[in-house]
Amino acid sequence: MSDWVPYPEDLAARYRERGYWTGETFGAFLADRAAEFADQVAVVDDRQRWTYRELDERATRMAHGFVARGIARGDRVVVQLPNVAEFFSVVFGLFRAGAVPVFALPPHRFSEISYFCSHTEAVAYVIADRFGGFDYRTLAEQVGVRQVFVLGDPGQHTALADVPVDPTGELPTVDSGDLAFLQLSGGSTGVPKLIPRIHDDYLYSVRESAEICGLGPSSVYLVALPVAHNFPMSSPGVLGALHAGSRIVLASAPSPDVAFGLIQRERVTITGVVPPVALLWLTAAATRPEDLSSLEVLQVGGAKFAEEAARRVGPELGCALQQVFGMAEGLVNYTRFDDPDDLVAISQGRPISPDDELLVVDEDDRPVEPGEVGHLLTRGPYTIRGYYRAEEHNRVAFTDGYYRTGDLVRLLPSGHLVVEGRAKDQINRGGEKVAAEEVENHLIAHPAVHDAALVAVPDSFLGERTCAFVVATAEVTGPQLRAFLRERGLAAYKIPDRVEFVDEFPHTGVGKTSRRDLRALLAAREA
Ligand code: OOB
């Protein structure tokens, strides 16, 4: 069994013929852009300002360091870094060493990280010493991966800066059809799924995204969300910025306190945020003193952006809104700058590629009438054909090469999509995805819990919050259960916002737990 499902050869050939897949690799990509944009500033964070040339040199040194430490072509390395410039030297260093970064997010804890390490058989884990009041070195000790590289004070581990360098050594040859990295899926199953992306498919989406979003050498892209997430990474994100010779500015948090100052200081032209952040910015813009006039485009995606809020962006922030409906599995949709305002306010955009194939189907996989709501299935030149090492799950998540997105959409005559809801057991907490089954499994591990069901609660700020319904067999409280989940090392955003106890679960006709009835029960309890 192979670790991941390759694109069918005939389609791969077509994607190459049409110029989508160009044979470029990430290592070469950076070298090429560094030659072109050498003295332009590539990356700015709180402490540093690197030109394209500097970034390129640092990535090469990093690559030699990793190779010297025994990291070999194809090795998986879990990377969990905050928004700092070193994210780029590390990740491009790994690319050049032929290694495969696994992109963890800063809120992930023992439960997630130990799974990423074991499932991918990672040989190393790259962290910052501390961030957001949390010591990642302690987590590294608990996880027990072979090598730990630390940015900052390494403690008992290896400092990133100390990685020995032999610049005369050879770096491995990397093929554009190789696995480039593993992204995380929001998921709907018991364990998070990992998304295998190759150089060819991802770089295609990056180039097209940069073009659609109008990036060029004078653009300044603010990274407001965690840089390793697919949205700020490639839609057009930091990779789109590097492709176009733009400047990347890293924010340590998306709050107006941090972000607005950076927009003013660095003359930021474009950024991407999730809907709750957009709402905060809309409110803050009225009273904050910072000059946001450089901002040309605010991208909003990751969760549904309410039409009312969408209509406020132009008048209140003085920039264009671009809606982005994407997924780490592949497909990304953008509203375009020449779309009419009404379309930008109500739709989540249209696909990047003429070869993105979209099906909108009913429960029996039959296409719905044009304009009707149905399940979105998709395949194309940058959408995966299967998750990493997940043969069994792939049989239900993919049909004829189509990825079953779990999203309910309506297709407009213009080719734009409107996201109408979701069929998957996932809760979208302001863009942060929570797989119901994963949290339920952790709850059921508690000795006093007989059964658990996690449901979405509508929320005016986050869109949705989580409520855990629990059937208990012994005395236990909501706070105790929440503490239990934290002790098990579950990321904070997955800890239920609310816990409700019931004697038994309502059932559907076939005897499954009825989440719809649970949501109704919650509404009734609130009333
Ligand atoms: C982005 O990626 P993921 O992998 O964290 O989550 C994908 C899911 C989609 O299947 C959909 O359920 C939801 O997030 N979603 C949206 C949305 N954008 C994503 N739902 C409604 N409206 C939107 N605009 O979230 C992601 C990846 C690349 C670019 C942008 C977002």
Cβ atoms of residues 408 and 373 within 8 Å: yes
CA-nearest residue, atom 14 of ligand 1: 302
* Ligand 1 atom, smallest distance to 433 CA: 5
Ligand 1 neighbour 404 (Cβ under 6 A) = no
Ligand 1 neighbour 433 (Cβ under 6 A) = yes
What are residue 349's DSSP bridge partners? none
Place of tokens 């969760």: 303
The CA distance from 200 to 382, in Å, is 8
Cβ atoms of residues 397 and 404 within 8 Å: yes
The CA distance from 185 to 433, in Å, is 8
Half-sphere exposure of 238 (CA within 13 A, CB side): 28
pLDDT along the chain (527 residues), means of 10: 92 98 98 98 97 97 94 97 98 98 98 98 98 97 96 96 76 97 93 96 98 98 98 98 98 98 98 98 97 98 98 98 98 98 98 98 97 98 98 96 98 98 96 97 98 96 98 98 98 98 94 93 91
Dihedral of CA atoms 381, 88, 40, 29 in degrees, nearest 10, equals -40
The CA distance from 468 to 208, in Å, is 41
Query: What is the tally of helices (H) and strands (E) in the chain?
Result: 17, 28
Tokens of 321: 């809104």
Tokens of 517: 């009835």
The CA distance from 397 to 390, in Å, is 10
Ligand 1 neighbour 422 (Cβ under 6 A) = yes
Ligand 1 neighbour 348 (Cβ under 6 A) = yes
Place of tokens 């989540």: 348
Distance, CA 378 to ligand 1 centroid (Å)?
Answer: 14
CA-nearest residue, atom 2 of ligand 1: 327
Distance, CA 438 to ligand 1 centroid (Å)?
Answer: 19
The pLDDT value given to residue 31: 98
All domains in the chain, ordered by first residue: 426-526 (3.30.300.30)
The pLDDT value given to residue 161: 79
CA-nearest residue, atom 16 of ligand 1: 303
Ligand 1 neighbour 324 (Cβ under 6 A) = yes
The pLDDT value given to residue 1: 60
Ligand 1 neighbour 302 (Cβ under 6 A) = yes
The pLDDT value given to residue 111: 97
Distance, CA 337 to ligand 1 centroid (Å)?
Answer: 20
The pLDDT value given to residue 169: 81
Q: How many other C-beta atoms lie within 10 A of the C-beta of residue 392? A: 8
pTM of the predicted structure, to 2 decimals: 0.97
Which of 427, 485, 480, 496 shows the shortest CA–CA distance to 456? 427
Pick left, alpha or beta for residue 409 (phi over 0 → left; psi -120 to 50 → alpha; otherwise beta): beta
What are residue 135's DSSP bridge partners? 130
The pLDDT value given to residue 113: 98
Distance, CA 379 to ligand 1 centroid (Å)?
Answer: 16
Distance, CA 77 to ligand 1 centroid (Å)?
Answer: 25
For ligand 1, mutation pick of 185, 325, 358, 378 (most atoms within 8 Å of CB) = 325
Q: How many other C-beta atoms lie within 10 A of the C-beta of residue 127? A: 28
Tokens of 424: 């998957």
CA-nearest residue, atom 5 of ligand 1: 186
The pLDDT value given to residue 474: 98
Ligand 1 neighbour 407 (Cβ under 6 A) = yes
Ligand 1 neighbour 358 (Cβ under 6 A) = no
CA-nearest residue, atom 22 of ligand 1: 304
